[in-house]
């Protein structure tokens, strides 16, 4: 009987809980930049240069040092060879017998290959850069200048993976490398607003599959320069293209889509939740107006009205009684709604208040919801303050 009584209590408590309606609304909005640029200066043009001269000079210097060392070693070895041959010749002259079987191999001069120098010419890279766009900007010389300084490839490593067995054994070769670029963004007056190394991540290029490591070494000996130039071209282009997301994130007015959760309440017993339905509809109406301009002025009044409606409902909130129409659970999900609305009104003081209310509540659903939104809300707060405060 005791267990039956506990079970009845459990199901009775389940029955008195209002049901939350999880509603998702998808709406377009304009993401604000972290670094705002005055409207009159929202033009952008690009420059590309290489920073490889010193690397090329270093390669030539190293080659000369190696050549000098090889020549010195060659002279030393040749002198020793001359000494040995002199002794053997004297023995031949004294004995009349040939010492050819004892002749040492004549030393040779080590061949120091020419270094592969980095290409100074930017080639098609300027057109690659000019293919970039920043949302909200036009192409022109009276605004931002985005300059790319291309670095030389570094940490180039060749490796292979063996597969198959017996006569079907194959060696798949690849090379990894880094080829970053320094991106500098400056305003028309020359002031630098952003400087960042981009494309500084490991890249990989396939070099083909071979029947033996020696087959690859023969191929690589004949094609090393070509491989290096391909790495150079592909890496340079990839580094410049990697700037697209960064430029958009920092400067662009980017059209985005958000999927937000706005809560309502299902009909329960004799409680009338028509006011919640009206506030919910007004919230959706306001959120759907956000795409019209970056400052959200067209949506502001509708969102303000929606928030007023939610706050009016909260006036009868009773956080101590779960049986009330606006009980702790309903109150918490309304705080979630107000937080979302306040983000798009640019009222982040109110966002912070509602987030704290939710975190202090005992409503898991609301606390779980806000935990997934905090990063986004903080990002929007930073962007809003950069542009309008």
Which SS3 state, helix, strand or coil, does residue 125 take?
helix
**pLDDT greater than 60 at residue 3:** no
- Using pLDDT thresholds of 50, 70 and 90, give the confidence band for residue 185: very high
Using one digit for the tens of pLDDT, what is the confidence trace for 81-137? 999 999 999 999 999 999 999 999 999 999 999 999 999 888 889 999 999 999 999
For residue 235, how many other CB atoms are within 10 A of its CB?
23
Using one digit for the tens of pLDDT, what is the confidence trace for 312-341? 999 998 888 888 899 999 999 999 999 999
Residue 37 CA to residue 357 CA, distance in Å, equals 36
pLDDT score, position 269: 73
The per-residue DSSP string of 55-82 comes to: HHHHHHHHHHHHHHHHHHHHHHHHHHHH
Which helix or strand (DSSP H or E) is residue 236 part of? helix 213-241
Q: Is 219 exposed, middle or buried (0-12, 13-18, 19+ CB in 10 A)?
A: middle
Could you tell me the two tokens for 244?
């697209």
Residue 34 CA to residue 255 CA, distance in Å, equals 15
pTM value is 0.83
**pLDDT greater than 50 at residue 11:** no
End-to-end CA distance of the chain: 65
Using one digit for the tens of pLDDT, what is the confidence trace for 287-302? 999 987 899 999 999 9
From residue 55, alpha-carbon distances to 63, 66, 120, 122, 368 in Å are 12, 16, 11, 16, 54
DSSP class of 200 = -
- Region 39-52+118-156+175-204+224-250: CATH code: 3.30.160.150
List the one residue out of 145, 114, 148 whose CA is nearest residue 129.
Answer: 148
**pLDDT greater than 90 at residue 6:** no
Q: Is 174 exposed, middle or buried (0-12, 13-18, 19+ CB in 10 A)?
A: middle
Quickly tell me which residue has 């959706």 as its tokens.
284
Q: Domain map of the chain by residue range?
A: 15-30+264-388, 39-52+118-156+175-204+224-250, 60-102
Give the mean pLDDT of 194-218: 97
From residue 233, alpha-carbon distances to 48, 55, 121, 205, 246 in Å are 14, 17, 11, 12, 21
């Amino acid at each position: 009987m005791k267990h039956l009584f506990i079970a009845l209590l459990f199901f009775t408590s389940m029955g008195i809980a209002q049901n939350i309606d999880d509603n998702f609304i998808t709406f377009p909005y304009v993401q604000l930049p972290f670094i705002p640029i005055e409207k009159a200066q929202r033009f952008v043009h690009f420059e590309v240069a290489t920073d490889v001269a010193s690397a090329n000079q270093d390669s030539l210097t190293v080659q000369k040092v190696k050549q000098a060392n090889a020549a010195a070693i060659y002279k030393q070895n040749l002198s020793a060879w001359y000494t040995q041959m002199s002794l053997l010749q004297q023995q031949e002259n004294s004995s009349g017998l040939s010492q050819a079987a004892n002749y040492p191999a004549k030393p040779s001069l080590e061949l120091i290959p020419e270094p592969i120098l980095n290409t100074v010419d930017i080639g098609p890279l300027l057109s690659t850069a000019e293919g970039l766009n920043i949302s909200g900007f036009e192409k022109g010389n009276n605004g931002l200048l985005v300059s790319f300084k291309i670095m030389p490839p570094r940490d180039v490593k060749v490796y292979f993976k063996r597969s198959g067995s017996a006569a079907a054994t194959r060696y798949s070769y690849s090379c990894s490398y880094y080829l970053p670029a320094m991106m500098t963004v400056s305003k028309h007056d020359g002031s630098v607003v952003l400087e960042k190394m981009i494309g500084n991540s490991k890249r990989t290029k396939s070099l083909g599959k071979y029947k033996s490591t020696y087959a690859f070494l023969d191929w690589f000996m004949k094609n090393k320069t070509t491989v290096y130039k391909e790495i150079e071209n592909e890496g340079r282009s990839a580094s410049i293209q990697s700037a697209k997301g960064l430029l958009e994130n920092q400067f662009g007015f980017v059209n985005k889509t958000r999927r937000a959760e706005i809560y309502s309440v299902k009909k329960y017993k004799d409680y009338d939740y028509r006011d919640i339905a009206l506030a919910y509809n007004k919230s959706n109406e306001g959120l759907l107006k956000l795409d019209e301009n970056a400052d959200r002025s067209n949506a502001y009044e509708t969102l303000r009205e929606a928030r007023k409606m939610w706050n009016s409902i909260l006036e009868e909130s009773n956080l101590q009684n779960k049986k009330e129409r606006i009980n702790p659970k309903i109150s918490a999900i309304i705080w979630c709604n107000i937080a979302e609305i306040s983000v798009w009104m640019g009222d982040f003081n109110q966002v912070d208040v509602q987030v704290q209310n939710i975190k202090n509540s005992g409503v898991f659903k609301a606390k779980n919801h806000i935990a997934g939104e905090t990063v986004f809300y903080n990002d929007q707060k930073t962007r809003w303050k950069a542009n309008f405060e």
